[in-house]
Every structure is written in structure tokens, then in C-alpha cells.
Amino acid sequence: MAITLADGTTIIDQVGMSVAPSYIEGTTPLPQTTTNKEQSYERKLTWMNGNCIDSDKNISDFSYNDGTSNPQNLSSSAVACGAIPSPRVIISEVAWAGTLASPDDEWIELYNPGVLDVDLTGWRLVTDSGHVDVILNGTIAAGGFFLLERAHDNTVNDLPADQIYFGALSDTGETLRLRMPDGTSVDTANASGGSWPAGSVSPNGSMERYSAIAPDDPSGWATNLGTVTWNGRDAANNPIHGTPKQANWAFFVTPTLTPTITPSATITPSPTRTPTASPTLTPTPSASRTVLINEVAWMGTIASSSDEWIELYNTTNQDINLAGWRLVASDGNPSINLSGVIAADGFLILETSSSVFSNLPPTIPTFTFTGTLNNAGEILRLYDPANTIIDTANSDGGSWPAGLASPGYQTMERRANVADSATAWVTYAGSGSIVRDRGNNVIRGTPGDANWATTVTVTPSPKPTATKKRVTPSPTPFAHVVINEFLPRPGFDWNNDGEVNVYDEFIEIENLGPINVNLSGWKLDDEPNIGSSPFTLPSKTLKPGERAIFFGSQTHILLDDSGDEVRLINSRGVVVDARGYTVIKYPDQSICRIPDGMGYWRFPCFPTPGNENSLTGSVPSSPSGKATPPPSCLFADTTPLDFVNAECHSFGADMWSHKYWDDQAGPQNEILVPDDHSKWQTFVQ
């Protein structure tokens, strides 16, 4: 498809979806489907809001909607694209006192906090005194720095200057201005024109901006006191007491100003430099969840389980420099020292290699790390430079609260900006991202995009009435039914039918929401497209806090002892909860949530069908009048019947009794087995 001018030739915009499209932006067409679906492609959001991304690559600009298409028409509310931001560059750091090597070695740093590169050609950096007047030349990258060094490139001898300038800054203070070519003032440093609000002579500490939005007044500047937060060397190879071409140390502290020092009425210039009063800084933590651990692919991808990735999300309306931030697992692997800038309301993908994704949009920044997440579960902690924990994932430290490995490789997604808990995470169950792994398989998650999990818990409120009375939108109560416990391998007659067999397996669900839920049309299933057929739940109303038990004798869902998956699917066909598991070695070990309903998944639990979950308990006695259940055999239910008969029935039952062998072996833990037909002695250990 294409939009052209009236001449039918001049193309304004185009998109291609076929193998060899006549119209296409980029080289890769949008993926096709071979079946009729409620499907659409929608241009992605950018800037403030609105469907505005246009990188001239169709595959990067559009998202694929499957079952969630939402076409609008002229009666729909308009959502305007935010205007492309005007170029914004700030004066970030001023070393008016020079360096330890020489007080004449002054330098100035500019910073671009925006999302666009800025061409500085023709821009002007000037002091009101006229002692410094620099016509700039060059480009400052988005999130990048521009370093100006006075007179020569040895001022910061291990970092190249972006531009050399001449002229000297007054030690007693003056105003520094940054102007665009048309004379528009973009930023100032020390606009009041008095003494410099920060910086020091001994030692020669730079004057740093607290943040990209800090005002140009004494509250917006700090003297670099970072000691370990320095960057670069001066002409004598001493550490620069500042952060040229690096995020300011002051970005990570909160100002606590000392009383203002008022100069006397008459100021007599002195040939020696006198340190000026500067703020006293106390490192304080960043706000909790300013950056969110938003999605965790602890299971990797279909192409490779080693291709793990983690998504961070900036919940604020300003860019955040991640220099000094760390993301650390509880076992120390991985331990990631972060860097770079995460844009306001933007994402950062941490990946184990640069080839995890085959077509991640270039607009999504990435960061490669080394290490491996523990598939059994571990805690992830995000620290800011003050060593304050900003966010966690799986703070319980047990099994991951969401996400599935083989065969689906579905990620663990944050459902909203909420505190880390068992209910904060959801297993991705959408149709798949447009992003693909290195093997061209669809990623079952949302890298660099809003989480699918945010769409499954809130039901929109009704639209305003025809009277056009203002209605404040608010979420309505929603159904929240979860899998609470399941038993893949029974060793007791849990369904009370007089026999111990696979039909004693059970799945328990619980209604955690505030409203009644009719289960009509809901389904239970194991792994998709293999194993047992889905079981459609009966028309039963589950009240808030109420549980429902479904035994294998009713569902005919057989959970493999060698590993399987349990899924709960609502009446709209959406997977609302799922949990996978690996080999179950012993009977009567269930998998459950602790605490009941809302807690983390734990294994092993003691089976408690219909009752509150517990980690311990005693197997009850068989009901009177029922046959005594046969002894359980520790073979998996997938074992061929011939092996079960040989090893588990009659004399073979003792083969699997640990107590039998321990009692016979005694303290040496081995038994001499008589054998008159061999010259060797045989021991069982």
C-alpha cells in the first residue's frame, strides 16, 4: 500500500506485506499469516503519545496485533502525535578553576539530554564579559557530551577534546551563555553573574549540574566531591576532579545547601584564588522504581536457552543516566555494571549477546552482559550509584513467579508499576512480538514495547453518556482466577475411589478477585498442542476466595512425571495463568503457592486439595469401607507397563524402598550378596 500525491507517482508513505512488495520501506516486509484472523498492524507510539514512529523501515515502525485490534474512526477520540522535541543542549559542567596541573587548564562540558543528535554548527558559547566567545562546530549525539578544552588538547590528556577554545573564565564569577545560531538563548551557567555557585580552587573541583532539568541557580549546581566518581587525567597525569565526557557525579546526589555566604560591601581582588562557598552534598537514594525491572526472559528463546534477556523501563518523564547503576543476581551471576542513558518513558534491553534478536528495532537501545540466570529462580536487585535498591524481581528467592521454558519460552512480565510480589508478574500469553530470535522464531514476549501483561487485568469503564457529562474513567472489578496447587504424581487415594492411580492427580484453582466468576467456558490444559485434550470447566460460580478441585478422573488431563505444564484459559481463550515444572521424583509432592493463592510458587508442597496450601503434612488414612491402596511405585507414569510390573508388583516393590535398603545395609551402607557362581564378591551399596 502507498499514499501518493495527486500525480499518482510521488510517494508520501508506503508499507509492504508480501514476499516481493511493490511498495515497502526498508528491505524486510511485515510478516504474513496464512489464516483469517482478527489481526492488524499498527504504527508504534513515540515521543509523548500517538502512532508516530517513522524510521523508514516498516518492520521497525509497526506492531502486530492478534486478537486485540482496535480500529478507530472519526468519532473516536483523537490522539495527537507529540511534536518532535526541539534541540536541547545544556551546560553540564564548568571547570573554571582549571586542574591540579594548572589553574589555566580550564574546560567546559555540554550535554544533550534529548533523543535526537544536535548539529552545533553556528551555535555560540559566550560570557557576558566577552573573555570567552566560542563559535561551536560539530555534532553532539543524543545522550552524549561535547568537551571544550582551553588553548590545547592536553587539559584532559587522555580524552580528546571536541573543540579547542581561547579565552579565560573569571575566578570571581561571570555568566556563561549557550545560544543557537539565531541568537536564541538555550541555557546559562551562573545567570546571576555573581560568584560561581559551585566549584573549588583547592582541590580544583569542577562545577557540575545536578540534573538535566536542574535550574541555573545555586540549588542546581554542585562541587564535584565524588573522589571515586572522577574521569580523565590532567596534563600532569593527576586525576581530573570532575567528570568530563561522563555522567555528572552530581546527577546521583541530592543537594543540601550550606548557609549562603554574603560578600562584604567592598571586594578587593586578591592575586591568590579563594575557594568559593559550595553546597555540601549528602548522597541519597533514588526514588523506588524510577527504573523498573520490567520483563525477564530467564528461559532464553526458542533458538537458544542461553539467549537470555532482561528489559528495564524508565517510569519517569526525564532521561536517567545509568552510570554507576548495577543489576545483580542473588548468587552473583550475573552482576551487571550498567552504563548509558535510558530515555524518559523508554526501555533498555540487557542481552547475553548482540545476536539474541534478529530484527530488534534500532530505536531500542541494548546492553550486552555476561552471566546466566538460574532457571530454578533467584533474586534480581537493581542498585543506583548510592547502593540503594531501586527495584527487585522475585524477591522471595524461590522459583520464578512467572515465565515458561520449553516449548513456549514465554517471558515473565511486570503487570504494572507495582511492588515486586508474586502477583506483580504474569507469564506472557499473547500471540508473539514482531521481534524474532536468532533462529527467526517469534519472541514470546514484548522486548522494547509495552508489556502484554498490562492488558489482562483492567476492564475499561463505560463511555460517557449522550449528555456529555464529564465521566472520570476508573477501572472496574475484574476476574482474577489463578492456579493455586497441582499434584502430578499421587501416592495416595486423593479422590477417594479406592485406588491409587493417575486419576488421583488434581489441579486446584482459586478466585482471588473481588467478584464472583462463572467458570462456564473456561478450560484447564497441559502443554499446548501435545498431551491431554483441554478440559472445559463446568458451569460453576466461584465466589471470591473460593477454591475448586479438579481430579484427573474428571478432567482426564494426565500430568507427566517427567515434566509438563498446567494452564488455565478463560472463556475468551486467553491464558490467564500457567506454570511449568520438571521431573517429579517422588509421589505426593505437589506444586503450590505459599502463602495460599497470592504467594510464590514452591516445590515440594504437601497435597492439600480444597484446603489452604502447606509445605508439610501427613497422608490421611483411607476412608472406611474402601480398599487399602497398594504401595506406590516411584516409577514415572510414562514408564512402559512391563517395567512397572517387574519392579513395582509383589517382590519388586521393595526395590524402591529406601528404608528397606538402609536397614539391611547397616552403618556401612553396603550389603554382601552371596554368589557361588562368581570368583568375585558382589556388593550392593
Does residue 102 share a domain with residue 76?
no
- Which one is predicted more confidently, 242 or 115? 242
**Predicted local distance difference test score (pLDDT) of residue 78:** 66
Residue after which a domain boundary falls, among 581, 605, 629: 605
For residue 173, which of 263, 244, 75 has the smallest C-alpha distance? 263
Cell numbers standing for residue 108: 567546559
| Measured distance CA(132)–CA(155) in Å, rounded | 17
Element (H, E) at 296: strand 291-297
For residue 435, which of 345, 363, 338, 369 has the smallest C-alpha distance? 363
| Range(s) of the domain holding residue 159 | 87-259+277-284
Q: Is residue 159 part of a domain?
A: yes
Does residue 109 share a domain with residue 76?
no
- For the chain, the maximum distance between any two Cα atoms, rounded to a whole number of angstroms, is 115
Q: State yes or no: pLDDT of 260 exceeds 80.
A: no
Does residue 111 share a domain with residue 162?
yes
Q: Is residue 333 part of a domain?
A: yes
Does residue 91 share a domain with residue 58?
no
Does residue 101 share a domain with residue 11?
no
| Measured distance CA(282)–CA(595) in Å, rounded | 40
Q: Is residue 610 part of a domain?
A: no
> What's the rounded mean pLDDT across residues 519-548?
87
Q: Is 490 exposed, middle or buried (0-12, 13-18, 19+ CB in 10 A)?
A: buried
**Predicted local distance difference test score (pLDDT) of residue 647:** 63
| Measured distance CA(190)–CA(86) in Å, rounded | 23
Does residue 311 share a domain with residue 414?
yes
Residue after which a domain boundary falls, among 84, 103, 133: 84
pLDDT in tens, 219-244: 788 888 755 568 888 888 888 989 89
**What percentage of the chain exceeds 70 in pLDDT?**
76
Q: Is residue 590 part of a domain?
A: yes
Does residue 129 share a domain with residue 80?
no
With vertex at residue 141, the alpha carbon angle to CA 138 and CA 144, rounded to the nearest 5 degrees, is 110
CB burial of 613-623 (b: ≥16 within 10 Å; e: otherwise) equals beeeeeeeeee
Cell numbers standing for residue 464: 460517557
Q: What is the CA radius of gyration of the chain?
A: 33
**Predicted local distance difference test score (pLDDT) of residue 523:** 93
pLDDT in tens, 341-362: 998 888 999 999 988 998 888 7
Does residue 388 share a domain with residue 521?
no
Residue after which a domain boundary falls, among 50, 84, 118: 84
Q: State yes or no: pLDDT of 671 exceeds 80.
A: no
pLDDT in tens, 601-612: 888 889 999 888
Q: What is the DSSP letter of 58?
A: H
Measured CA distances, 192 to 196, 212, 262 (Å): 9, 19, 14
| Measured distance CA(154)–CA(104) in Å, rounded | 12
What is the pTM assigned to this prediction? 0.34
> What's the rounded mean pLDDT across residues 438-443?
90
| Measured distance CA(533)–CA(257) in Å, rounded | 69
| Measured distance CA(554)–CA(556) in Å, rounded | 6
Q: Is residue 457 part of a domain?
A: no
Q: Is residue 621 part of a domain?
A: no
- Which one is predicted more confidently, 151 or 665? 151
- Which one is predicted more confidently, 9 or 653? 9
With vertex at residue 153, the alpha carbon angle to CA 220 and CA 320, rounded to the nearest 5 degrees, is 35
The residue type of 460 is P
Q: State yes or no: pLDDT of 284 exceeds 60.
A: no
Give the total number of structural domains in the chain. Answer: 5
**Predicted local distance difference test score (pLDDT) of residue 679:** 58
Does residue 104 share a domain with residue 253?
yes
Nearest 5°: phi and psi at 142? -55, 130
**What percentage of the chain exceeds 90 in pLDDT?**
26
Q: Is residue 643 part of a domain?
A: no
Does residue 322 share a domain with residue 418?
yes
> What's the rounded mean pLDDT across residues 642-648?
65
Is residue 559 within 8 A of residue 551, CB to CB? The reply is no
**Predicted local distance difference test score (pLDDT) of residue 134:** 92
Does residue 196 share a domain with residue 119?
yes
* First and final C-alpha spacing in the chain: 74
Say which CATH number the domain at 400 has: 2.60.40.1260
Does residue 102 share a domain with residue 75?
no
Specify the length of the chain in residues: 685
Q: What is the DSSP letter of 665?
A: H
Cell numbers standing for residue 54: 517513522
Pairing of strands 145-150, 163-165: parallel
pLDDT band per the 50, 70, 90 thresholds, residue 458: very low
> What residues are paired with 281 via a beta bridge?
255
The 3-class secondary structure across 323-365, one letter per residue, is CCCEEEECCCCCEEECCCEECCCCEEEEECCCCCECCCCCCCC
Is residue 462 within 8 A of residue 441, CB to CB? The reply is no
Q: Is residue 641 part of a domain?
A: no
Is the link from the previous residue into 334 a cis peptide, with omega within 30 of 0?
Answer: yes
**Predicted local distance difference test score (pLDDT) of residue 472:** 37
Say which CATH number the domain at 521 has: 2.60.40
In the sheet that holds 481-487, the strands lie side by side as 547-551, 506-511, 481-487, 590-594, 600-605
